[in-house]
């Protein structure tokens, strides 16, 4: 395999330098960090990551779907350096600068739907979610929130109350927000109702109406439904066609706001700017973060003007909308709009076809799903029962790392592939070759 100067494993990872840093980190960093595998990065370029021992990896996880333009894209680096040299902070909640006005205008105009939007800038995804909970309650003067089982919305107490992907994320932290209700997601591969699409008639959506809203929760008390158009941490689950639109209709019937959490799925990753555009659905509030500024910390709440009711001084942030982050986001959006989004769609097709071919050959892969460069491989113990194979996904992830391919698990038993949107056809070929090898070997 000599297509590129990577992957190149010169010492079995973690090498000696990496191991020393891993040991030091284990001594001093807080005990909550996951640390998926011992990757110790020294530098990166495009989709290549080099570790401190000189190993080179092909990156198909982008630091959790964040490094959308790759590592240290020269145009992003130049914009960051220029912005930092002018001023690193001013506090956009209290003062003005052009980059903030420009980015907010740009995001408002990029969001789906014809109604005018307004934008609030945060430092992270979870803060965007917490802000959206406040905005939805303020705008509707209702308190209840509906979210989905398997959802991930973040880890601050508000967002955490909506998160429902792993019990460990809640354990010992309660009580969380009251009046948050979780309902099954449109997950056809493991349907809670044991039905099949389309003959189910989207029974999971009708159940919200006939079960939750009829018996338990008056819809007039519901401020918002928070939904990931493609469930991310929960397992890269794409709901069936029409599901998101049915959620939209349910919201419209009851004056409930629809909040699309596009923190992972947004900014071109799925081949469209926003994943809800694949379904032609317009949310009332759209949240973005992860890939928005190529790794600089930035999130956004993009809300319809009619929903943006909170008055002057009611919400804010010291660092949110940092000028260096805004500069990085503006260049990132240029790059996404001028080629990377199309590349995500094209490379995504090739990658998905290759993954499907692997699945057809190798029994432990039960399902290949996703859109664009947000793709998941679901490992099963048994194809008939679809019982998740947790061990297999971690084995494949670890062996791929040792072979020079960076991936990340999610959900019960899913290997997620979320590379930088800059990858080329050779990167796709290399990744598929390694994946096929390690999946074959992992069965032994």
Ligand X SMILES: *Cc1c(COP(=O)(O)O)cnc(C)c1O
Taking the CA atoms of residue 267, residue 270, residue 274 and residue 276 in that order, the dihedral angle to the nearest 10 degrees is -160
Of the pair 55, 332, the CB lying nearest ligand X is at 332
Of the pair 53, 261, the CB lying nearest ligand X is at 261
Q: Which of 133, 191, 155, 55 is nearest to 315 (CA)?
A: 133
Q: Phi/psi of residue 261, each to 5°?
A: -85, 100
Distance CA 406, CA 180 (A): 36
At which residue do the structure tokens 């999130």 appear? 299
Distance CA 308, CA 117 (A): 8
Does 124 engage in binding with ligand X (CB under 6 A)?
yes
The binder of ligand X chosen from 152, 243, 379, 401 (CB under 6 A): 152
Query: Cβ of residue 234: shortest distance to ligand X, in angstroms?
Result: 9
Q: Which residue is nearest to ligand X (CB)?
A: 125
Does 263 engage in binding with ligand X (CB under 6 A)?
yes
**Two tokens, residue 325:** 């982050």
Does 234 engage in binding with ligand X (CB under 6 A)?
no
Which residue spans within 136-228 are E strands per DSSP? 144-148, 180-183, 222-227
Q: Which one of 23-31, 147-155, 313-321, 416-424 is the stretch in contact with ligand X (CB under 6 A)? A: 147-155
Q: What angle do CA 233, 234, 240 make, to 5 degrees?
A: 120
Q: Which one of 104-112, 124-132, 180-188, 371-379 is the stretch in contact with ligand X (CB under 6 A)? A: 124-132
Does 130 engage in binding with ligand X (CB under 6 A)?
no
Helical ranges in 256-381 per DSSP H: 323-335, 341-361
Q: Which of 61, 137, 106 is nearest to 423 (CA)?
A: 61
Query: Cβ of residue 230: shortest distance to ligand X, in angstroms?
Result: 9
Q: Which of 302, 332, 296 is nearest to 109 (CA)?
A: 302
Q: Which one of 102-110, 214-222, 227-235, 266-274 is the stretch in contact with ligand X (CB under 6 A)? A: 227-235
Of the pair 15, 235, the CB lying nearest ligand X is at 235
Contacts of 348 (CB under 8 A, 6+ apart): 270, 271, 370, 371, 372, 373, 374, 375
Of the pair 117, 153, the CB lying nearest ligand X is at 153
The binder of ligand X chosen from 55, 161, 264, 343 (CB under 6 A): 264
Task: Count residues near ligand X (CB under 6 A).
Answer: 15
Q: Which one of 15-23, 78-86, 146-154, 338-346 is the stretch in contact with ligand X (CB under 6 A)? A: 146-154
The binder of ligand X chosen from 56, 137, 153, 395 (CB under 6 A): 153
Does 289 engage in binding with ligand X (CB under 6 A)?
yes
Of the pair 380, 418, the CB lying nearest ligand X is at 418
Q: Which one of 17-25, 31-39, 225-233, 276-284 is the stretch in contact with ligand X (CB under 6 A)? A: 225-233
Does 126 engage in binding with ligand X (CB under 6 A)?
yes
Query: Cβ of residue 84: shortest distance to ligand X, in angstroms?
Result: 21
Distance CA 409, CA 377 (A): 9
Contact set for ligand X, span 39-78 (CB under 6 A): none
In contact, 151 and 265? CB cutoff 8 Å: no
Query: Cβ of residue 126: shortest distance to ligand X, in angstroms?
Result: 3
The binder of ligand X chosen from 51, 53, 59, 261 (CB under 6 A): 261
Does 125 engage in binding with ligand X (CB under 6 A)?
yes
Of the pair 229, 354, the CB lying nearest ligand X is at 229
Q: Are strands 408-410 and 414-417 parallel, antiparallel or unpaired?
A: antiparallel
Instruction: Let me know how long the chain is.
Output: 444
Query: Cβ of residue 150: shortest distance to ligand X, in angstroms?
Result: 11
Of the pair 125, 323, the CB lying nearest ligand X is at 125
Does 321 engage in binding with ligand X (CB under 6 A)?
no
Does 129 engage in binding with ligand X (CB under 6 A)?
yes
User: Please, what sign has the CA dihedral across residues 146, 148, 152, 155?
Assistant: positive
Helical ranges in 224-322 per DSSP H: 243-254
Does 376 engage in binding with ligand X (CB under 6 A)?
no
| Other Cβ atoms closer than 10 A to 234 | 23
Query: Cβ of residue 376: shortest distance to ligand X, in angstroms?
Result: 13
In contact, 121 and 103? CB cutoff 8 Å: yes
Q: Are strands 144-148 and 222-227 parallel, antiparallel or unpaired?
A: parallel
Q: Is 173 exposed, middle or buried (0-12, 13-18, 19+ CB in 10 A)?
A: exposed
Query: Which residues contact ligand X (rule: CB under 6 A)?
Result: 124-126, 129, 152-154, 228, 232-233, 261, 263-264, 289-290
């Amino acid at each position: 395999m000599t297509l590129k100067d990577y992957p190149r494993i010169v010492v079995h990872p973690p090498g000696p330098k990496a191991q020393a840093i891993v040991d030091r980190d284990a001594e001093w960093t807080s005990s909550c960090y996951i640390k998926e595998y011992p990757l110790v990065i020294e530098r990166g370029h495009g989709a290549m990551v080099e570790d401190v021992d000189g190993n080179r990896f092909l990156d198909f996880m982008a630091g959790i779907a964040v490094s959308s333009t790759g590592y240290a894209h020269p145009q992003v680096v130049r914009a960051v350096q220029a912005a930092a040299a002018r001023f690193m902070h001013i506090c956009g909640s209290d003062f003005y600068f052009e980059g903030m006005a420009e980015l907010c205008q740009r995001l408002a105009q990029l969001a789906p739907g014809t109604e005018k939007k307004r934008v609030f800038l945060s430092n992270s995804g979870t803060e965007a979610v917490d802000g959206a909970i406040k905005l939805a309650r303020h705008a509707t003067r209702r308190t209840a929130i509906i979210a989905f089982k398997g959802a991930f919305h973040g880890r601050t107490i508000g967002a955490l109350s909506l998160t429902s992907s792993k019990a460990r994320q809640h354990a010992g932290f309660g009580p969380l927000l009251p009046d948050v209700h979780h309902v099954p997601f449109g997950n056809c591969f493991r349907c809670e109702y044991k039905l099949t699409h389309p003959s189910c008639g989207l029974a999971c959506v009708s159940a919200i109406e006939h079960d939750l809203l009829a018996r338990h929760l008056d819809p007039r008390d519901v401020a918002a439904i928070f939904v990931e158009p493609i469930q991310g941490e929960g397992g890269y689950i794409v709901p069936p066609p029409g599901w998101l639109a049915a959620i939209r209709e349910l919201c419209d019937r009851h004056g409930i706001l629809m909040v699309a959490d596009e923190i992972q799925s947004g900014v071109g990753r799925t081949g469209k700017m926003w994943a809800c555009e694949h379904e032609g659905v317009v949310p009332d509030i759209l949240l973005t973060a992860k890939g928005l500024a190529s790794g600089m910390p930035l999130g956004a709440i993009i809300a319809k003007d009619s929903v943006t009711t909170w008055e002057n001084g009611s919400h804010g942030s010291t660092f949110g909308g940092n000028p260096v982050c805004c500069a990085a986001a503006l260049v990132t959006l240029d790059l996404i709009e001028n080629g990377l989004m199309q590349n995500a769609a094209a490379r995504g097709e090739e990658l998905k076809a290759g993954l499907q071919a692997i699945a057809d050959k190798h029994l432990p892969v039960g399902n290949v799903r996703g859109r664009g460069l947000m793709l998941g491989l679901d490992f099963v113990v048994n194809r008939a029962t679809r019982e998740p194979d947790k061990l297999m996904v971690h084995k494949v992830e670890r062996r791929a790392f040792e072979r020079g391919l960076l991936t990340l698990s999610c959900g019960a038993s899913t290997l997620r592939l979320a590379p930088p949107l800059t990858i080329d056809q050779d990167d796709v070929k290399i990744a598929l070759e390694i994946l096929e090898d390690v999946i074959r070997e992992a069965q032994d």
